Structure 1
Amino acid sequence: MRATKEIAAVWERFDRMPMETLTKAWYASRSAGGGQRTVKQMREHHATYGTSGNCFDLALWLLDEFRQAGVEAYAIGHDMRNEKAHVAVMAFDEHRSPYLCDLGDMWIQPVLLDPKRSSFTGERIAGFFPGAQVQVSVGESSCEIIYHRAGEKRSQQVYDLRKIPQLELMQAAEASQRCFRTQLVERRVRVGQEVAHWEFSDGESFLSTSAGLFPEPKLTSLEAWCDRIYERTGIAKEVLRDALTYYAQQNG
């Protein structure tokens, strides 16, 4: 179920990048409300400030990297027309086998979506999602993922596997980049022998591993949060400071 070397080689270029909604706030503070950046801008901002972006940024960037590598790929997701919109990428190997590539949810690696599997086999697979085992169920035009976490906790997500038309994709991306409801940073981190998941979300941060969820000490100042997020991600503190300030202004 692991990706071919061609797909994996592109995916691994993003291994150290977080998924985060802070860059869009920083960009909005600099450009009269912001909006969807070009892939060229994303690369320039990453090189200068260590930024990455939200699921739309990462999907568009990943699609461009696949295109340059000669790998067929297109955008998929769910809820494109509302605030729950989430986008990922479907990439195909030389045999036309499809792989789900979801940088926005911080998957460890792409997972094969075998169209012949129409129901759960009961198999839980590890090593694909940080802090959880997953079950994959694929239908003709949709895919359901069930995440199994420590303490018998379960959650699920359903992807529409049909290609998102470019106009619809960009309209959803623009809407997402102008929504400032949630401050969120997620990153895969190595903890012992496993890949875990670190998250900052609206004034709290925690680490998720196969052993459970571990909250970090709460902080009270903007500068303290800038320090912690910088230590986890490497995003420039000036970006973090401007972004957190912008969120406070938007939601104050």
Structure 2
Amino acid sequence: MSHYPTDSTQLAPVERHSIFQNSLMTALLDGIYDGDITVSELLGQGNFGIGTFDALDGEMIIVDGQCYQVRGDGSARPARLDQCSPFTVVTNFVPRISAHAPNDMSRSDLGDYIDSLQPSENYMYAVRISGQFHDVAVRTVTRQEKPYRPMVEATADDTEIHFDNVSGIIGGFRTPVYEKGISVPGCHVHFIDDARSRGGHVLDFRVKDAIIELCPATELNLRLPLSSDFSRADLAPENLDEQIHTTEVKT
């Protein structure tokens, strides 16, 4: 049940909540893949989140305080505490808004549905969808070698994998448009099944029977890399929208 008023004149969260982010999406797009924060440090910042690993070696999803690494073949395994990440978004997930997800809801429906639940589009939201799915389509980034290619090139050969009639968690963040470049605007979500054995970066899904929960956030704690590569990176590309769409949506 929502903890927020339905009165349209009172669209503010009832309490403050923070999100921690390591590096920028534009840095990742520019090929800044060297990890500079450990999984152990990240878990000290939150029990829920998504990201990637050093050298772009797979997708990261953190659920219930456990960090998982999803490889290019869609297989998942617990991450080591000493593994590093070049880009991660984490928070302590506190579900403030909860609703039954509509049957057959897809990725393209997710943004509008969250907008119907959230008190305002101007805040950040951690998003968790738990339950059964008719199907989930994912892809996973694969380990890169130096000199690193830009992310548009690095993800060009990612294999699309489909999981049918699967139970699990789709987790990630709903980010306001004004954060474009800092993070991924709109919904950026990853998947892991109930067995914690399969997952990936979500391209599409279709809900069968699931609960959607939102955790609103009012603060962003942004940690920037201390590296010469980051100092020289192009963090304001002219084709930013195109790069984000190609690497995150791939449709």
> For this structure pair, what is the TM-score category when the shorter chain's length is used for normalisation?
under 0.3
Query: What TM-score do you get using the length of structure 2 for normalisation?
Result: 0.28
Q: TM-score, length-normalised on structure 1?
A: 0.28
Is the helix fraction higher in 1 or 2? 1
Which has more radius of gyration? Answer: 1
Structure with the bigger percentage of strand? 2
> Could you say which structure has the greater relative contact order, defined with CA pairs below 8 angstroms and 6 or more residues apart?
2
